[in-house]
Amino acid sequence: MNVVQKLFGFHGGVKPNYNKEASTRLPIAAAPAPTRLVIPLHQSIGGPPRPLVKAGDRVLKGQRIGDADGDVSSAVHASTSGTVIGVEMRLMPHTSGLSAMCVVIEPDGRDEWVERKPFDFRAATPTATRDYLRDAGVVGLGGAVFPSHLKLNAGKQGRLDTLVLNGAECEPFITCDDVLMRERADPLLRGAAIMREMLEASRVLVGIEDNKPEAIAALEAAAKRANDASIQIVAVPTRYPAGGAKQLIRALTGIEVPHGERSTDYGVQCFNVGTAYAIYEAIELGQPLISRIVTVAGNVGQARNYQVLFGTSMRDLVALCSPLPDTDRIIMGGPMMGFRMPSDDVPVVKATNCVLVGSQKLFPPPPPEMPCIRCGECAKVCPADLQPFEMYWFARARIFGKAQEYHLFDCIECGCCAYVCPSRIPLVDYYRFAKSEIWAREVEKEAADEARDRYEFRLLREEREKQEKAAKLAAKTAAGREKAAAALAEAEKPARTPEEEAKHALIAAALERAKAQKDQVHPENTGNLTPEQQAEIAAIEARRAEIREQAKPHLRQDD
Amino acid sequence: MNNSPYFLQPASVQSVMLRVLLALIPGIAVYVWFFGAAILVQIALASVTALLAEAAMLKLRGKPVMMFLADGSALVTAWLIALTFPPIAPWWLTVVGVLAAIVIAKHLYGGLGQNPFNPAMVAFALMIVAYPSLMSQWPAVGFTEFLPQWQAIFGPRQLDAITMATPLDALRTALHTADARATVAGVLGSSASFGNIGGKGWEWVAAGYCVGGIYLLQQRIITWHMPAAFLATLFVISGGFALYDPTRFVGPSFHLFTGGAMLGAFFIVTDPVSGCTTPRGKLIFAAGIGLLTWIIRTFGAYPDGIAFAVLLMNIAAPLIDMNTQPPVFGHKRKAGGRP
Ligand code: SF4
Ligand code: SF4
């Protein structure tokens, strides 16, 4: 365990004021169950789960209320026992201010569990274990809420080298992983061991920023107790965004996973430490994911970490920490990447690692934006090695293609560039804008493309038909000439015998049949085309494939 | 209401520019020590002109005047113009130079951050082409008396007593004119304008700029790439030629500590707006300026080559940037990752 792990680091990064002390002074407390739980059905990446309950149903704690929709989805459960009072549209914890389907539960105060039994994953097939985890609603708890069962799959090349557990927690203010590691180190490592077995990984590296000495000590002690030599606790230098999955993988293993590729193809898989704990609970305790640790910090009297039932209103949660009177906003996540909530009456969900209470004083509005002076500060700190000012320039000028050429989609929206920009340009806003514009255009283009394809095919078909007609016409005139000639000859020769007529008809019928068959074999009208026409169709297909490739959903697999 | 990040580092264009001005102060102090207070008059003159021109242009362009005026960028341009012009240049020369920089080179191209050419160097180049003799009258070392300097600036001008050819000028005229028979050693020994390593007095001013440059490096306002590439190129090429023929080519220490080399290395070549931004691009850009500077100094018709070298490389900067984009995360190795 005390093997010195070589560190590789990553380019860029910033050192904002971390503000983590306030919320780590007190241990984790359980937030009381509120009078209403509003549990969104769609809490993970992938398809929205189908509701399994309706108004009036009584549900138990841990009872599944939303069923995963296909494999790329994750189930949702009742966080406590009570009565369903509605399945309805409610405001989501999302900047957009959109609503989505939620199960509203009135708790009965009895907190009565469904039957829980541990899952013997060693006896089960890997597929069965993954299905079990999907139905237990386990998703990445680092904020990206990617369904964990999809990631617990050894890579294409079979065995995985390294399982990385992300305990870096680099965002200012957030300490939920820190306190989890301090207080629940043993079960956390048991979860890690389960994951390692499922992935057949040879080692586990737990990366923790070195500003969390207590967490590092706790995990080291737990690793010693577990007597598992494959687990190494590694302190990484404190520098935002060390907790970005790609940055941490790079810092720990030296491997850079390019945008759009799976880390498993490089022999690494990365999970948040909270996810490891959730897997422990699901497998060893038989408990689905119904609550999580949430940091409440910022403009509050007493910052603290709470174990919060999903569906609890952020307003109720914040009230536990006595928010200061000048509070003017609630942010989900940290100050670098968090999102402002449309209201404080939105539920805590699986993605909620922190509820950050803000005020004008704490987060003053930025001074007016100045022009970019090309100082290059942003490029110096960009952990994705991008040239942020170039992307900004093109995003602003709406030359999106160029922005993409400067690798817009490699941007992880970490905010380092905007953090250092002396011209106070809200750079990340420009990237978000450009990305959404490009997505919108691609969707449009996809539709337009289909229409254009249809149009182009029609042109091709018409062209072909024209050629056929011409050919027929030519044949006809040729035939006509022949006929005339034949008629002339006929006049001189004896008339055709009936047998000959019948033979002719037979041949014609056979030819007709053969033609019909041929048409059946090539139903897409691309059968008898000239090479040029075929090349053209290939070009159209290639163009479409390229667009489809670009439009591939930019899912974040990061944890 | 703004979006994340909600936290910003307390940095601003203003603080960057103020630190650049601060970094110029050691060099200016030495300047005053050796050549008198005239340079302070020029700096004041240039600053006032720049601020007035900036304000007028902002107003004309319908931009918030106070916000942009406070950014300090006009002052940096003004100071650099004052420091590259002769300190005893007539007042209108400085004023016209500053106007050219602010009105033409900066605002007609779109203002802060948009100018493809270094404004101070545009001013220098325009003025030296238009008024070559006025731009070549430099004070002799030791004439620090204020009154004649003041008169040189505001008239009536009586220059004979206080000017002399700059070391670069003296060398070039002596070595590279048609019937040049002189040798480097001969020229260096013959004139009072040569000091121990560079031009007399100027070498210490250059050292002052160097101190300021190190401060800028320490403050991370500039990176090492440009000063290093510029100075190294100048050093290597002048050193190479001096080794090849020491009688005709003067050595590197002279080049580095004469004229605008040090000021250029840390304050002019490093102008971010008109220069390259990628690390490799910065090296190429600054090396190009170093090379061109040496060529123009050695064979050209003007006393110092930095201004033209900078402007020429400004033209090339976008092209260099385009071709030196650093690989992005995960795309460094073809195989895509494993070190
Ligand atoms: S940090 Fe801001 S001003 Fe500097 S280059 Fe980047 S975008 Fe431009
Ligand atoms: S937000 Fe994007 S461009 Fe800016 S530093 Fe982060 S990765 Fe780089």
The tens place of each residue's pLDDT in chain B, 339 residues long, gives 568 888 888 888 999 999 999 999 999 999 998 888 899 999 999 999 999 999 999 999 988 888 888 889 999 999 999 999 999 899 999 999 999 999 999 999 988 988 999 999 999 999 999 998 888 888 777 677 788 888 888 877 766 656 666 667 666 666 665 455 556 666 665 555 555 555 677 888 999 999 999 999 999 899 999 999 999 999 999 999 988 888 778 888 888 887 788 999 999 999 999 999 999 999 999 999 999 999 988 887 776 789 999 999 999 999 999 999 888 888 765 433 343
Contacts A255 to B, Cβ<8 Å: 337-339
CA B118/CA B312 separation, integer angstroms: 10
Whether residue B335 is contained in a domain is answered as: no
B114 touches chain A (CB under 8 A): yes
Q: Is A373 on the interface with B (CB under 8 A)?
A: yes
Residue closest via CA to ligand 1's atom 4 equals: A375
Range 213-252 of A in CB contact (< 8 A) with B: 246, 250
Asked if A167 and A177 touch (Cβ cutoff 8 Å), the reply is yes
Indicate whether A165 belongs to any domain: yes
- Expressed in angstroms and rounded, the spacing between residue A414 Cα and the centre of ligand 2 is 5
Residue A413 Cβ inside 6 Å of ligand 2? The answer reads yes
Joined tokens for residue A58: 């009584």
Q: H or E element: which one contains B58?
A: helix B38-60
Give residue-wise pLDDT tens across range B179-218.
555 566 666 655 555 555 556 778 889 999 999 999 999 9
Indicate which of B1, B2, B7, B14 best probes the interface with A, i.e. most A CBs within 10 Å of its own CB.
B7
If you count residue pairs, one on A and one on B, with CB atoms under 8 Å apart, how many are there?
A: 155
Tell whether B71 is within 8 A of chain A (Cβ). yes
Shared-domain flag, residues B205 and B298: yes
Q: Is the same domain home to A281 and A393?
A: no
Domain that holds residue B226: 193-327
B335 in contact with A, Cβ within 8 Å: no
Regarding the beta carbon of A267 and ligand 2, being less than 6 Å apart is answered no
B122 and B215 both lie in a single domain: no
Q: Is A425 in the pocket of ligand 1 (CB under 6 A)?
A: yes
* Residue A19 touches partner B, C-beta closer than 8 Å: no
Ligand located closest to B220 CA: 1
In this structure, what DSSP letter does residue B327 have?
Answer: P
Residue A390 with chain B: CB contacts under 8 Å: 277
Q: Say if residue B155 is in the same domain as residue B14.
A: yes
CB-count exposure of residue B80 (10 Å: 0-12, 13-18, 19+): buried
Please report, for the domain that includes residue A181, its CATH number: 3.40.50.11540
Query: Would A193 be classed as within a structural domain?
Result: yes
Residues B160 and B14 in one domain: yes
Test A373 with B272 for CB contact under 8 angstroms: yes
Secondary structure class of A72 (helix, strand, coil): coil
Tell whether B171 is covered by a domain: no
Min Cα distance A421 → chain B (Å) is: 7
Please give the torsion angle defined by the CA atoms of residues B109, B110, B115 and B116, in that order, rounded to the nearest 10 degrees.
-60
Neighbours of A85 (CB within 10 A): 15
* DSSP result, A302-343: S-EEEEEETT-BHHHHHHTT-B-TTEEEEEES-TTT-EE-S-
Say if residue B156 is preceded by a cis peptide, omega within 30 of 0: yes
DSSP 3-state of A107:
strand
Closest-CA distance, B77 to chain A, in angstroms, reads 14
Query: Looking at the domain assignment, is residue A525 inside a domain?
Result: no
Do A165 and A267 belong to one domain? yes
**Domain C-terminal end among A307, A332, A357:** A332
Structural domain contains residue B334: no
- The answer on A319 and A431 residing in a single domain is no
Instruction: Provide the number of structural domains found in chain B.
Output: 2
The ipTM estimated for the assembled molecules is: 0.84
Q: In B, which residues are within 8 Å of A367 by CB distance?
A: 12
Please check whether residue A65 lies inside any domain of the structure.
no
Residues B90, B207, single domain; the answer is no
Distance from CA of B51 to the nearest CA of A (A): 18
Find all residues with CB under 8 Å of A549, minimum gap 6, and list them.
none
Stretch 11-50 of chain B: residues touching chain A, C-beta under 8 Å = 11-13, 15-16
- Asked if residue A390 and residue A486 are part of one domain, the reply reads yes
Q: What is the pLDDT of residue A118?
A: 92
Residues of chain A with pLDDT under 50: 1-3, 487-495, 518-530, 547-559
Is residue B177 in a domain? no
Shared-domain flag, residues B112 and B44: yes
| B66: contact with A, CB 8 A cutoff | no
CB A362 within 8 A of CB B5: no
B18 and B144 inside one domain: yes
Ligand in closest contact with the CA of A389:
1
Question: Whose CA is closest to B50, among B3, B96, B6?
Answer: B96
The pTM score is: 0.79
> Is B223 buried (19+), middle (13-18) or exposed (0-12) by CB count in 10 A?
middle
Domain that holds residue A169: 21-32+123-332
pLDDT at B56: 94
| Residue A196 shares a structural domain with residue A321 | yes
Q: What single letter denotes the amino acid at residue B68?
A: F
Do B250 and B149 lie in one domain? The reply is no
Pair (A310, A386) in one structural domain: no
- DSSP symbol at A364: P
Could you tell me if B159 and B203 lie in one domain?
no
Domain membership flag for residue B3: no
CB contact under 8 A, A370 and B8: no
Kindly state the helix (H) or strand (E) to which residue A38 belongs, with its residue range: strand A37-40
Q: Flag whether B172 is in a domain.
A: no
Is the Cβ pair A256, B278 closer than 8 Å? no
Q: Which ligand is nearest to the CA of A11?
A: 2
CA A424 to ligand 2 centroid distance, Å: 14
d(CA A153, CA A258): 19
Q: Same domain for B126 and B77?
A: yes
Q: What is the mean pLDDT of chain B?
A: 85
In a domain, B95, yes or no: yes
* CA-nearest residue, atom 5 of ligand 1: A374
Task: Please check whether residues B29 and B135 belong to one and the same domain.
Answer: yes
Nearest to A419 among B9, B67, B221 (CB): B9
Atom 7, ligand 1: residue with shortest CA distance: A389
Task: Establish whether residue A381 lines the binding site of ligand 1, counting it when its CB lies within 6 angstroms of any ligand atom.
Answer: no
Beta-carbon contacts of A509 under 8 Å, excluding residues fewer than 6 positions away, are none
- A258 and B8 within 8 Å at the Cβ level: the answer is no
Q: Which of B126, B145, B164 is the last residue of a domain?
A: B164
CA of A382 to the centre of ligand 1 (A): 11
Q: Which long-range contacts (CB under 8 A, 24 or more apart) does A545-554 make?
A: A547/A442, A547/A445, A547/A446, A547/A449, A548/A446, A550/A442, A551/A439, A551/A442, A551/A443, A551/A445, A551/A446, A552/A260, A554/A260, A554/A409, A554/A435, A554/A439
Q: Which residues numbered 170-189 in A keep a CB inside 8 Å of some CB on B?
A: 172
A132 and A255 part of one domain: yes
Contact A410 B64 (CB under 8 A): no
Is B27 within a domain? Answer: yes
Best of A170, A406, A425, A428 for a ligand 2 pocket test (most atoms within 8 Å of beta carbon): A428
Q: Which amino acid is at B224?
A: W
Same domain, A297 and A376: no
The reply to whether A303 falls in a domain is: yes
Measured from the alpha carbon of residue A416, the closest ligand is 2
Output the six-digit token pair for B303. Answer: 């006393």
Report yes or no on A148 lying in a domain: yes
Pick A372's closest partner by Cβ from B64, B113, B339: B113
Task: Indicate whether B34 and B137 sit together in one domain.
Answer: yes
Is residue A537, in this structure, part of any structural domain at all?
no
What's A282's DSSP letter?
I
Q: Are residues A327 and A426 in the same domain?
A: no
- Per-residue pLDDT tens over the stretch A483-534: 555 544 444 444 455 566 666 666 666 666 655 554 444 333 434 444 555 5
- Residue A393 domain-assigned (yes or no): yes
Structural domains in chain A (count): 2
